[in-house]
């Protein structure tokens, strides 16, 4: 049941104040794609590059969040939606804190990703589609999950017996079958510089 008798309590420090102090904008870089498409790997590399550039950055990873905040959720459609809802709200808080926030989640449903976009001001949700074929992701299978899904040990696995809805117009497409990690990092950093999210140089 939704809580009642609650009122938003405004502080004296604004998001703009924090961005000015940090000398860069804040936004959510939302990595989405099949398991094995490279979301976590690229977000880790990008976080390190941005940190080295002096950017206030933090990474929220799908598996990591399920160890704590979302530890009570399973992989049913209902709980997957709740997983993204919670992460979206947390990411929104990080953006308000002036932090460039990276999120690496399969987030298979377009409706859920669009909802996160809707709770953020225009320009503060950057959808990054990690493009990789199912065949390639199965070939990589870093966690051995596709094999388990194919043998029936895992049910409702995205790409096998649960759908993945490809983004219709993401801000960035990273083709992980063609680009190296370094090339992918450079592509995203260039986007952030070109669109004035960051201005610092290494």
Binding residues: 33-40
Length of the chain: 202
Residues labelled catalytic: 107
Annotated binding residues for ATP: 33-40
Q: How far apart are CA 81 and CA 142, in angstroms?
A: 24
Residue in the block written with tokens 């926030």: 101
With 0-12 / 13-18 / 19 or more C-beta atoms within 10 angstroms meaning exposed / middle / buried, residue 202 is exposed
């Amino acid at each position: 049941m939704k809580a009642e008798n609650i009122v938003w309590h405004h502080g004296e420090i604004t998001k703009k104040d924090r961005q000015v102090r940090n000398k860069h904008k804040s936004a959510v870089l939302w990595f989405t794609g099949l398991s094995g498409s490279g979301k976590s790997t690229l977000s880790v590399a990008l976080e390190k590059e941005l940190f080295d550039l002096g950017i206030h950055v933090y990474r929220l990873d799908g598996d990591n969040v399920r160890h704590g905040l979302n530890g009570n959720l399973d992989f049913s459609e209902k709980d997957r939606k709740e997983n993204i809802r919670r992460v979206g709200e947390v990411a929104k808080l990080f953006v308000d804190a002036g932090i460039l926030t990276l999120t690496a989640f399969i987030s298979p449903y377009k409706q859920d990703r669009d909802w996160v976009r809707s709770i953020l001001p225009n320009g503060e949700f950057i959808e990054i589609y990690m493009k990789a074929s199912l065949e390639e992701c199965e070939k990589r299978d870093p966690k051995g999950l596709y094999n388990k899904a194919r043998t029936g040990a895992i049910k409702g696995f995205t790409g096998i017996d649960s759908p993945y809805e490809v983004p219709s117009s993401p801000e960035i497409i990273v083709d992980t079958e063609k680009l190296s990690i370094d090339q992918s990092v450079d592509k995203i950093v260039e986007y952030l510089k070109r669109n004035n999210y960051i201005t610092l140089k290494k």
